[in-house]
Each structure stands twice: as structure tokens, then as C-alpha cells.
Structure 1
Amino acid sequence: MRKNVNVSAVIFRTIFVTLGVVGILSSLGWFNREYNINWYVFYTNLSNYICIIVMFISLIFSAKGKDTVLPRFRFYCLIMILVTFFVYNILLSNEHTPYTYFTDISCTLLHCVLPIMYFLDWLLFCKRNTLKVVDPILSVVMPLIYVAFIVIRSSLITHPAKGVVIYPYFFLDLGKLGWSGFLGWVGVLLAIFIALGYILYMIDKVIKGKNKSN
């Protein structure tokens, strides 16, 4: 169904996509003039890439005054990128000083700016009351696929080339943690983000009505 164009949504999503392109180029090593061979290994990159694509599609639909398809999938992407935001800023950001955190383009955009903007877009512009009670559980499927990818990949790389990252995060390092430690970390993180999903699910139910652009 065609609606009036929500100019605020179009502007917001245009800014997001523009910053997203900068973030993608930075994650690939464009600004350092050094190709990052491990770009596909990091959850941060993959989650942001998917959300940028989803936002670009949403931008096209909102510019035409149309409803965006798959609002539930957008919720799954929201949980996915919030995993990036919380895990990095709580567990991993100690590798940076405040100065290096905010002067690293890729770090700032992919770990902070884009996740917050994606959440705000969902909160302000997305269609309400489309979620099902099972969606917070389904939202961790994509992170689990990533975990499976890391495990399978690590088992296949027996003689890594110089500079190749096997385990991108300490809580996925099977070599150091063993299966018990690995599953413990994964289980705790899944429980936390399913709980977060239900908090957002309740927010979605509390906010009444629909916004003009989805």
C-alpha cells in the first residue's frame, strides 16, 4: 500500500547507509591501503554488512512511500547488531583507549554509531505489533550460524597462513577454552540476548499504532 513519504525516515536511512559504506570500506582496509584478509571472520563486520543491506532496502521502500517487507527479519537484524554493540563495548573494548576508540573510523562506526542508529530506526520508523512471541528466540539463529561457521572453519584450517585469524574472539577460542568453556560462554550470551529480545518485544507491544514509514 502506498503512503506519504516519511522524509525523516528517508533522511535518517540515507545517513545510515552513507556511514555504512564508509564503515564497510574501513573494515576492508581501504583507508589504511592494506587489504584485511580476515574481514569475513569477524561478527562485527558481517552483522553490520547485513544491517546496511537491510537499511538500504528500507530506504528504497520508504523513499517510495511503501511498507518495507519482512519487519520480523528487521527485528532479527536488530538483535544481531545489538550483540555487536554490547559484546564489543562490554567484553572487548578494553583493547582501546578512549582516544583510539573514537578515532578509529571502523571501530566507532561498526561498534557504536551504526548499532545505535539501527535501534533508533527500529524504534522510530518501523511498523509496530508485527512480532510473534517466538521471535526473540528466533533472533539468535543468525548469531548461532556464525558460531557454527567459526567452529567449522577452525577445524578445517590446519596450517594457517601468516596473518590469518582462527578465533576472532576469546570466548570462541575452542583451543584455549575447550568445549565446556566454549559452550558456557555461548550459552550465557544466548540467554542474555534472548532476554534482550523479549524486552524489545515488550517495547514493540507497548508502543501503539504504526509509523508513517516502514
Structure 2
Amino acid sequence: MTPTARQSSFALCIIAWFALLLQLNLSVGMTAASGKPALMGIVIYLGYFTVLTNLFVALALLLPLVAPDSTIGRFAARPMVQGCAVTSILVVGIVYHLLLRHVWAPQGMQWIADMLLHYVMPILFFLHWLLVLPSHRLPWWAPLVWCLYPVGYLAYALLRGEVLQSYPYPFIDVLAIGYGQALLNALGLLVCFVVLGLILVAVSNARARRTG
């Protein structure tokens, strides 16, 4: 890892972990204020694709920094893993901006957490991937492998929803729209994920050709 990449990773790590810890504190605080146990706040917090993906990105930044020679550090630094992380975090920002930002109006510290998780981290991590990390050739089928992450999340969110009778996003809210529409919505988002992944693969390969 170059000095520039280390500095960029370190700076993004600070932002990512601050945003995640801030949102965790807010989630636990909101559930406590409503008379529910703090554990429920953690359960709610871990139900969101936004939170899990920002955690994914935070680990993808942190592990190569603190354990570059370890198995997990080398795994996190792999271009396939970084590519999955950048595709996923961009989907977080795009989907939030297009589908979810009008659903609520966060204020104060919640607005700060909202901006960091949905806008600042997607933009900065994409720029880090594009401008700072070394370019690598990626196979065209990489987005199909990356799909395992959102598909796994969908299975988790639906199972969690069955248990809690609560779903994190309106477009997969089975109680409100039924399984058919929820799965159809999820399929549409998955197609968008693959298309975005293919675009990023093309960008990465073009960079690799120029520098190689």
C-alpha cells in the first residue's frame, strides 16, 4: 500500500467508524427513549443494508491497514473485495437518494449520521477506489459474484422480518406490499446492482490498460 493510499484509508476509516458509532448510539438512544431495551436498538441498527454496507466498507479500509500481512487483511485488500464494497456503497447512496430520502426528515445528529452514511462515505470511498487504489483487471462476471452480498442481505432481511414483523425498507415490506411485490422490487434493485457493477468493472479494466 502506497503512503497516499494509507493516508486516504486512514482518513476514511475515521469517518466510517465515527458514522457507524454515531448511528449506533442514536439507534440505541431512540429505542431506550421509547421504553424498549437497548438490545432492540442494536437489532434495529443491524437490520439496515446501509449500516451493514458501511461496516463492510469500514472493514475493507481498516483490515489492510492494521493487519496487511494477515490472511484477512490480504483478503480485504483483494480487488474483488474492494470492487464489491464500492459497488455496494454506491448502491446505498443511489437508492437512498432516489427512493428513500423523502420518507423522513432527520434532524440534528441524526441528519449528520444520515449524510455520512448515505452520501459522504459512498462518494469518498468511490473516489478512493477510483483515484487512490491501484488499478486491476477484473473479470466481467465479477458483479455476479458480488451479488451474493445483496442476495444474502435480502434473505436475512426477510427472515428477520418474519421474526420481528418489521422490515427495514418499504420496498421489501412484506406486511405492506406482499412477498410477490417485495421480491419483484428486490429483483429490480439486483439488476441495477449488476449493471452498476459492470460499469465499475469496465472502469477498472480501462484504468488497468492505461497504467499497464
Same fold (TM over 0.5): yes
Counterpart in the other structure of 1:70: 78
Greater percentage in helix: 2
Q: Distance in 2 between matches of 1:33 and 1:81?
A: 26
Provide the identity percentage. 24
SS in 2 for 1:128: coil
Counterpart in the other structure of 2:15: 19
TM alignment of 1:43-62, pairs within 5 A: 43-60=49-66
Counterpart in the other structure of 2:4: 8
Counterpart in the other structure of 2:145: 138
Matched residue type, 2:172: L
| Alpha-carbon contact 1:20-1:114 (below 8 Å) kept | yes
Q: Distance in 1 between matches of 2:108 and 2:181?
A: 29
| Alpha-carbon contact 1:126-1:210 (below 8 Å) kept | no
| Alpha-carbon contact 1:101-1:107 (below 8 Å) kept | no
- Cα deviation, 1:100-130, whole Å, max 9, x if unaligned, reads 4997221011101111111111112223233
| Alpha-carbon contact 2:171-2:185 (below 8 Å) kept | yes
Q: 1:6 to 1:101 in 2, by over 3 A?
A: farther
TM alignment of 1:173-188, pairs within 5 A: 173-188=173-188
| Alpha-carbon contact 1:102-1:108 (below 8 Å) kept | no
TM alignment of 1:47-196, pairs within 5 A: 47-60=53-66, 69-96=77-104, 100=107, 104-157=111-164, 166-196=166-196
Aligned-residue RMSD, C-alpha: 2.7
Deviation at 1:149, TM superposition (A): 0.4
Q: Distance in 2 between matches of 1:32 and 1:198?
A: 38
Matched residue type, 1:23: A
Query: Which piece of structure 1 moves more, 84-93 or 7-16?
Result: 7-16
Counterpart in the other structure of 2:207: 207
| Alpha-carbon contact 2:167-2:173 (below 8 Å) kept | yes
Q: 1:192 to 1:61 in 2, by over 3 A?
A: same
Q: TM-score, normalised by structure 1?
A: 0.81
Unaligned runs of 5+ in 1: 161-165
Q: 1:182 to 1:101 in 2, by over 3 A?
A: farther
Q: How many residues align?
A: 196
- Cα deviation, 1:44-87, whole Å, max 9, x if unaligned, reads 1111011101101233478xxx9874221111111111121111
Q: Distance in 2 between matches of 1:46 and 1:154?
A: 16
Q: 1:15 to 1:31 in 2, by over 3 A?
A: farther
Establish whether residue 28 from structure 1 lines up as the match of residue 35 from structure 2: no
Q: 1:191 to 1:18 in 2, by over 3 A?
A: same
Q: TM-score, normalised by structure 2?
A: 0.81
